[in-house]
Amino acid sequence: MRQHKGLTLVEVLIALVVVGIAFAAMAFIQTNNLRMTTNARLTTHVKAAANQVLESVMSSVLATSVDFSGKKVYAFNDYYWNCPTAQVPPAGALPVVNRPACTGTQNVGDVVVTYAVAGESGVTGEGVLTVTVTAQHPSGGQRLTLGDRVTCYDVYPSPTSLAPEPCPKPVAAGGGRK
């Protein structure tokens, strides 16, 4: 009887095939993980850019300045501000000053962000603005749209959320006082 001391060629080939399949599976998993990590990183950049531009546009819409008498003047003055065309404030309301652009594009790093401010009338005639931003990354194609609304309640908050008061009517002295 003859005893074998070693591996046959068939056994070596089977072992190489098993090892090759294992390495191919690990390489596939690793490339898939790298792809998903890149996608998550680009998505994070798009979200951050969209939030940055949304906050910037919202701050310009709600910007305050001080007039000659020392009184605060809002860009959303008397909440009769509208895009793309100016809404005519009623008699006694101050004119809108410091009107930000209704549309625009900003680049935040590689991300291109477009924004738009659209206006409409509220229940009692107050301006309601919707600020929308859309951010897209040119490399990965990630796209995100965010929006926020501004009403007179952002400038003149109600005393409680359970019993909100209607927006105050504008007066000749400016603002929405009762």
Task: For residue range 146-172, list pLDDT tens digits in order.
Answer: 999 877 666 655 556 565 555 655 555
Mean pLDDT of 30-46: 93
- Could you give the number of structural domains in the chain? 1
pLDDT at 29: 95
Between CA 20 and CA 22 the distance in angstroms is 5
What pLDDT is recorded for position 174? Answer: 47
Is residue 46 in a domain?
yes
Residue 172, in any domain of the structure: no
Domain limits for position 120: 9-155
CA atoms within 13 A on the CB side of 116: 7
- Contact residues for 86 (Cβ-Cβ < 8 A; gap 6+): 96, 99
Separation of alpha carbons 158 and 167, rounded Å: 8
Most confident of 62-66, 132-136, 141-145: 132-136
Has residue 107 been placed in a domain? yes
d(CA 119, CA 152): 13
Q: What is the pLDDT of residues 57-94, one digit of tens each?
A: 888 777 666 667 776 655 555 455 556 565 565 565 55
Q: In whole angstroms, give the CA distance from residue 43 to residue 30.
A: 20
In a domain, 178, yes or no: no
- 16 domain residue, yes or no: yes
* Domain-located, residue 170: no
* Long-range contacts formed by 85-92: CB under 8 A, 24+ apart: 87/119, 87/121, 87/127, 89/170, 90/125, 90/170, 92/170, 92/171, 92/172
Q: What is the pLDDT of residue 8?
A: 86
